[in-house]
Amino acid sequence: EESEEESPAEMTMVWIFSRRFQLSVPKLDSRRWVAQELLSDLLQVAQNLYSDSFFPVLEPVVGVGSACEGWSPEKEEDVVYCMFVPLKPPRGHAFHLEPDSVGEEMPQTSLRVRVELVCACTGEQPDRSMLCFLHRPEEELKRNQMASLLDTLCTGPYLDVEKIALWFQTFVMQAWLVVPQSHHYSLKVLPSRRSCKMKLMEASGRSFFVEAVFGVQQGDSDIFLSSQPTEAQFPPSTTWLESYAVAEAKFFLHVAVHAPPRSCHLKCLRLCARLLEGSSLSIYALKTTVMHLLTLIPLSEWQHKYLLMRVDDTLSYLHCCLEEKRLKHFFFDNEDMPKEISLPPAFQGAQPHNLFQHLAQNRAAHTKALKRLN
């Protein structure tokens, strides 16, 4: 049972950790809003520019990743504000997700997005301004209508990540002077094969990074296919990787709404990330651990005064998982999942992914990771 009173030593330690790790929060928050507003403004320009074309429809952005969740383990100058840009098919097109045999060696689930032309002649409200790609002569289409998505950003019938990234990078460079942020920052679009990485520079010389990552939704769920792999890999350009980033963002929003004021869960994440620096344990394993604990320990017990206890719980949980060589993925067969998060039906009752599977297969790596936590 946890004591309601803290010893002077505990109070001092909590104060030191709070001061040390809270300093980055205001900047994370303010720059996250700058990144989100920038992408929202760019997407508004894109909507006006491409309204009569057949490029993908760019949906409202979602801030994902540790910086947008408020706890980035990175140094301030290395923080990347990741903005997820969902893609919907344009008029006269449909997306179909297919298993990707080419990407079978990838550690993430990989799929391809097949683009199919659909009839625009019929329906409850047919678009009279659009010629049907299926039922109009090719000569008439070439003469009177812009090219279909299949002819621009696809390789064969499949949506091509690298073509989308290049298209969006070119658009950003063209649209930059139109958005209000151009009055306060200078912009450099950085090389990237599968996303759009931007460096924003203030007049003072300080800079920060924003990355637009593209995604295709799986049904009506919060699970997407992402253009960006989680590790330094180079899958084929028509391979998309299953991503839980949007679902994770919704989970942290759920916690922020229901947790007590000044909840320590973000400080706990930042502190543990610092403590585990140099270890072979991934930041994602740490994040998954804290997400599990946020559903196992009542949110009322994540008050600021319990910071050191929650840090100890996190490291102990990680240690137990390492000993068992098993850390369950948070989004598979989890009965404690908040109702606000929508998952594909196949996730319920599915065998949970083991994030420590590689340690079960590599004795040396397992021994090294376990030694770091002893």
Q: What is the pLDDT of residue 262?
A: 87
In CATH, 259-373 is 3.40.50.880:
no
For residues 96-102, give the mean pLDDT.
Answer: 84
The amino acid sitting at 108 is Q
Residues of the chain with CATH 3.30.460.90: 22-243
pLDDT value of position 12: 61
Distances (CA, A) of 186 to 199, 209, 281: 8, 12, 37
Provide the phi-psi class of 219: left if phi over 0, else alpha when psi is between -120 and 50, else beta: left
Q: Closest Cα to residue 213, out of 199, 196, 198, 225? A: 196
Percent helix, percent strand, percent coil in the chain, to nearest 5: 45, 20, 40
All CATH 1.10.1410.40 domain ranges in the chain, comma separated: 259-373
Which of residues 163 and 129 earns the better pLDDT score? 163
Alpha helical stretches, state H, 23-60: 25-49
**For residues 269-287, average pLDDT:** 88
Mean pLDDT of the chain, nearest integer: 86
3-state secondary structure of 200: strand
Q: Do 137 and 183 touch, CB atoms closer than 8 A?
A: no
Distance CA 37, CA 210 (A): 11
Asked whether the predicted pLDDT for residue 257 surpasses 70, the reply is yes
pLDDT 10s digits, 114-127? 999 888 776 555 56
Yes or no: say if 241 and 106 are a contact pair by the CB < 8 Å rule. Answer: yes
CATH number belonging to domain 22-243: 3.30.460.90
pLDDT (mean) for 119-142: 66
Determine the average pLDDT of the residues in 244-268: 94
* C-alpha–C-alpha distance, residues 116 and 311, integer Å: 50
76/66 Cα distance (integer angstroms): 12
What pTM was estimated for this model as a whole? 0.88
Residue 277 CB neighbour total at 10 angstroms:
8
Q: Tell me the Cα Rg of the chain.
A: 23
Q: In the predicted model, is pLDDT for residue 244 greater than 90?
A: yes
101 pLDDT band (50/70/90 cuts)? confident
